[in-house]
């Protein structure tokens, strides 16, 4: 039996990756290590958390001794590392949490893998899941390629860039069998409603203002989360050691156009008069250091490993909105407690 540690699998993307691996590979033992921060939610896992090949471990990747002992105990064959602080706005308010989780946490995992594998790397793999935001901001033309120079602008993207560099350094220095992917913006079920899509779905549901940063002209390249999980599966199993793969859906939207689509679909599904939700759009102060445009060229992944997105955006956004409307209890649970305080602090003076 292969033992695979997935970090951060109580979060948005990690839960979809863990579900895929638990169901598709019954002969793997899947361990989910998660600290259960505000973004980690065991409810995301409830359809498979009793599976015989799945185990949850509560713990913090920042705690180096804990991580080393965990690796010594379980002798993992593979690591898929997703645990991170992931929200740009929070990184602007509190960078140090991002430095600790994203940089120190990653190095703790690298050290533990290096220690237990002791240079015997046959059948071993350390997969680091990263973001396209490390490449910085594009102008109106062009794409991010795997060899685009790093140019991060937010504390979040700088901390992810730093972790990517350290993962590569452990490959180049110690021969650690690493692989990295950099993915564009994800949307889909189970995303914490601080990110654009679920935040706006939730606000529309409650007839609350939709805070559009700046003029809403920033461009993001959106990928359905289940397609990201499928890409991670393909790269984990078939990607050559030491390589990087960009993942994206060739699906660029300005924020304002995307928001208008969400408003239209929500009006239809809630039986509201056409144009009702758009009236909630409120332009607010721009995010500091706001990257203008992200766009991924994923042809390396498509050509070398045969991955491609499984669905078009229209279908994906419909499925996504249906999921949030059918899982209002999930939304209500994650927006109780500290969420109101977060919202007040983040949007109160915008
Ligand atoms: P998320 O915030 O939804 O989930 C992060 C998970 O990590 C949570 O379950 C949280 O409890 C856990 N975690 C945080 N700090 C931890 C710590 N110190 N120890 C253990 N667990 C900890 O994030 P997400 O959107 O699912 O992103 C997952 C990964 O994918 C991140 O590394 C992120 O940088 C990357 N990524 C995200 C996107 C996106 O659009 N969301 C795009 C590309 C890459
Ligand atoms: P977000 O979902 O935070 O992802 P990222 O910053 O990692 O791309 O934001 C997506 C885009 O939406 C980004 O350009 C910022 C913008 N945005 C708003 O206009 N209003 C909001 O309330 C949020 C959260 C984001």
- Contact at 8 Å (CB) between 5 and 76? yes
Residue bearing the CA closest to ligand 1, atom 30: 82
Mean pLDDT value of segment 125-153: 97
In angstroms, rounded to a whole number, what is the distance separating the alpha carbons of residues 43 and 41? 5
CATH number reported for the structural domain that contains residue 34 in this entry: 3.40.50.720
Report pLDDT for 19. Answer: 98
Report the SS3 class of residue 335.
Answer: coil
Counted domains in the chain = 1
Does position 350 have pLDDT exceeding 80, yes or no? no
Please determine, for residue 79, whether its predicted confidence score (pLDDT) is greater than 90.
yes
Q: Is residue 343 part of a domain?
A: no
CB-facing half-sphere around the CA of 251: CA atoms within 13 A: 23
Helix axes 255-270, 313-326, angle to 10 degrees: 50
Q: What is the mean pLDDT of residues 99-112?
A: 99
- Region 199-221 average pLDDT: 98
pLDDT of residue 107 exceeding 90: yes
For the stretch 278-292, pLDDT in tens is 999 999 999 999 999
Q: How far apart are CA 24 and CA 18, in angstroms?
A: 10
Residue 14 within a domain = yes
Q: Does the residue 333 lie in any domain? A: no
| Cα distance between residue 304 and residue 298, in whole Å | 10
Supply the pLDDT for residue 54: 98
Is 154 inside a domain boundary?
A: yes
DSSP letter for 296, please.
B
**pLDDT at position 178, please?**
98
Share of the chain above pLDDT 90, in %: 96
Q: Is residue 34 part of a domain?
A: yes
- The pLDDT score that the predictor gives to residue 119 is 86
Strands 2-7 vs 28-34: parallel, antiparallel or unpaired: parallel
Q: State pLDDT tens for residues 14-38.
A: 999 999 999 999 999 999 999 999 9
How would DSSP label each residue in 222-276? Answer: EEEHHHHHHHHHHHHHHSPTT-EEEE--S-EEEHHHHHHHHHHHHHHHHTPPTTT
For residue 349, pLDDT over 80 is answered with no
Task: Name the band, by pLDDT with cuts 50, 70 and 90, for residue 337.
Answer: confident
Mean pLDDT of the chain, nearest integer: 97
Which pLDDT band holds residue 85 (cuts at 50, 70, 90)?
very high
Ligand 1, atom 32, residue with closest C-alpha:
82
E strands, the chain, are: 2-7, 28-34, 54-58, 78-81, 125-131, 178-183, 185-187, 210-213, 219-224, 244-247, 252-254, 281-284
Atom of ligand 2 nearest to the CA of 213: 19
> Is 114 domain-assigned?
yes
pLDDT in tens, 66-76: 999 999 999 99
Whether residue 6 has pLDDT greater than 80:
yes
CA of 290 to the centre of ligand 1 (A): 20
Is any ligand 1 atom within 6 A of the Cβ of residue 17?
A: no
How far is residue 12's CA from residue 85's CA, in Å, rounded to a whole number? 12
Q: DSSP 3-state assignment of 10?
A: coil
The mean per-residue pLDDT over the stretch 178-189 comes to: 98
Query: Residue 112's pLDDT is what?
Result: 98
The protein residue whose alpha carbon is closest to atom 12 in ligand 2 is 196
- Burial of 210 (C-beta count, 10 Å sphere; 0-12/13-18/19+): buried
Q: How far is residue 163's CA from residue 156's CA, in Å, rounded to a whole number? A: 11
Quote the ligand 2 centre to 272 CA distance (angstroms): 25
At 179 the pLDDT is 98
Q: Could you report the per-residue pLDDT of 232-290, keeping only the tens digit for each?
A: 999 999 999 999 999 998 999 999 999 999 999 999 999 999 999 999 999 999 999 99
Residue 162: band (very low, low, confident or very high) from pLDDT cuts 50, 70, 90: very high
- Of all ligands present, the nearest one to the C-alpha of 216 is 2
Q: What is the pLDDT of residue 145?
A: 98
Range of the domain at 93: 2-191+222-255+289-313
Q: Which helix (H) or strand (E) holds 339?
A: helix 339-347
Residue 127 in domain: yes
| d(CA 2, ligand 2 centre) in Å | 38
With respect to residue 54, please indicate whether it lies within any of the assigned structural domains. yes
């Amino acid at each position: 039996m292969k033992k695979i540690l997935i970090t951060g699998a109580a979060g948005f993307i990690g839960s979809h990756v863990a579900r895929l691996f638990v169901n598709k590979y019954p002969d793997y033992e899947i361990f989910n290590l998660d600290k259960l921060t505000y973004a980690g939610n065991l409810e995301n896992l409830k359809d498979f958390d009793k599976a015989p090949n799945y185990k949850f471990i509560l713990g913090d990747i920042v705690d180096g001794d804990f991580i080393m002992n965990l690796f010594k105990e379980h002798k993992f064959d593979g690591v898929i590392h997703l645990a991170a602080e992931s929200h740009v706005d929070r990184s602007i308010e509190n960078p140090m949490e991002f430095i600790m989780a994203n940089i120190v946490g990653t190095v703790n995992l690298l050290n533990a893998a290096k220690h237990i594998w002791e240079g015997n790397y046959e059948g071993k793999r350390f997969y680091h899941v990263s973001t396209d935001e490390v490449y910085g901001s594009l102008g109106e033309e062009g794409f991010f390629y795997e060899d685009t120079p790093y140019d991060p602008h937010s504390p979040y993207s700088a901390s992810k860039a730093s972790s990517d560099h350290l993962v590569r350094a452990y490959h180049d220095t110690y021969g650690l069998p690493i692989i990295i992917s950099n993915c564009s913006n994800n949307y889909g079920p189970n995303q914490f409603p601080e990110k654009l899509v679920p935040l706006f779905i939730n606000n529309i549901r409650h007839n609350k203002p939709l805070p559009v940063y700046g003029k809403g002209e920033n461009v993001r390249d959106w990928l359905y989360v289940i397609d990201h999980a499928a890409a991670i599966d393909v790269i984990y199993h078939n990607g050559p050691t030491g390589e990087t793969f960009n993942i994206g859906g060739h699906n660029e939207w300005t924020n304002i156009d995307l928001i208008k689509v969400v408003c239209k679909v929500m009006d239809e599904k809630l039986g509201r008069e056409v144009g009702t939700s758009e009236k909630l759009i409120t332009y607010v102060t721009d995010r500091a250091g706001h990257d203008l445009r992200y766009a991924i060229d994923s042809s390396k992944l498509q050509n070398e490993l045969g991955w491609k997105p499984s669905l078009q955006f229209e279908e994906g956004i419909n499925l996504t909105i249906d999921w949030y409307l059918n899982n209002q209890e999930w939304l209500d649970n994650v927006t109780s407690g500290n969420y109101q305080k977060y919202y007040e602090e983040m949007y109160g003076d915008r």
